[in-house]
Amino acid sequence: MSLENTKNGAQSVMTAAGLDASALTFSVILGGGAKFPSAATRTFQVVIWNKTDYADPNDDPEREYVEIDPVSDHVLTDTFAISTGKRGQQDTTAVAHNIATKVYGVALVIHSKMIEDINTWLAALEASLNAVIVMITAINSDMDYRTLGLIKEAPATGAINGLNMIFTFTHRPVFLFSDLAPSSEEDDYTVAGSGPYTVTFLAVPPVAKLVSFYNSYDADIAINIMNFVEGDEALVAGIDGYHWSVAHTPIGPVTLFAVPDGIRLRPGASDDYTISGKDIISASDWSASPPVPYYRYYASA
């Protein structure tokens, strides 16, 4: 939604012609229109009241709120256009403001609709932010120690034994963690090669586990990490125990874990199963114990 336009000091008085009970235009004194904001991109409401008898518009029982139309050119002409059907807004009534002996004020003031619109806008913003938080939480949970834009990878080679100082990684590390302590390429190690990458520490890393994080765009497949998920989900049974499907189209390798014995079935192995899109055709009947697939996929698929 769009909030009302505002401007400080937006007030003036009507010309002698005033405004009758059904008119949709009125004029203010010379230069008065420029005190108000334009309604071209965001409209707004003004209050009209008998300024001769009431210094405060809230005291005038015949005050009226009207909505200014986006086509209004009052800034240049001092003539306001009222939106069709927008006389008598906010529990006021469309009445005449044209008694010859009275001066009628026009002002843009803080009013209840303005506050209600702000509250509605803030509620929508809160809902959107909560949705983002839920999405990020889900991504962090599903991606198993991943951060947005980065992917976790263990060393391809190199024993972590308190003696070895050389390790290789399939992808170039953005940064390395030795246990929970980050290592710096500038201070702690050097990187050589163009894939695989050889990481040589300047001193033996005193760790039980070494983890590299690499940029997802250096991966074998170019992806948008925000729309990318890796995890497991149940197979959907087909016409028989040989036909199955998954909810998302796999991107990259799919590994099936047989239940309950934990046998790992290699991706696409002809003696275990074949994959075509979301469909999996098994070489044996999996009805009694269907495996659980673990794979990458686009969340929007």
CATH code of residue 85: 2.40.30
Into how many domains does the chain fold?
3
Q: Is residue 283 part of a domain?
A: yes
Instruction: Look up the domain containing 249 and give its range.
Output: 227-298
Where is 141: in which H helix or E strand?
helix 112-142
Burial of 159 (0-12, 13-18, 19+ CB in 10 A): exposed
Q: Is the pLDDT of residue 258 over 50?
A: no
pLDDT of residue 90: 94
Q: Check whether residue 250 and residue 178 sit in a common domain.
A: no
Together in a domain, 201 and 255? no
Least confident of 62-76, 102-116, 147-161, 163-177: 147-161
Indicate whether 183 pLDDT > 70.
no
The model scores a pTM over 0.95: no
Looking at the structure, do residues 180 and 203 belong to the same domain, yes or no? yes
Instruction: Tell me, yes or no, whether 241 and 164 share the same domain.
Output: no
Query: Residues 17, 94: one domain?
Result: yes
Q: What is the pLDDT of residues 189-211, one digit of tens each?
A: 888 887 788 888 888 776 656 77
The residue from 218, 247, 272 where one domain ends is 218
In this prediction, what percent of the chain has a pLDDT beyond 70?
67
pLDDT band at 7 (very low <50, low <70, confident <90, very high): very high
Domain termination residue (choose one: 54, 88, 109): 109
pLDDT of the residue at 19: 96
Q: Please provide residue 86's backbone torsions phi and psi, each rounded to the nearest 5 degrees.
A: -115, 25
| Max Cα distance, the chain (Å) | 99
Mean pLDDT across the chain: 77
pLDDT by residue (tens digit) across 82-119? 999 999 999 999 999 999 999 999 999 999 999 998 88
Q: According to the model, what pLDDT value does residue 223 have? A: 37
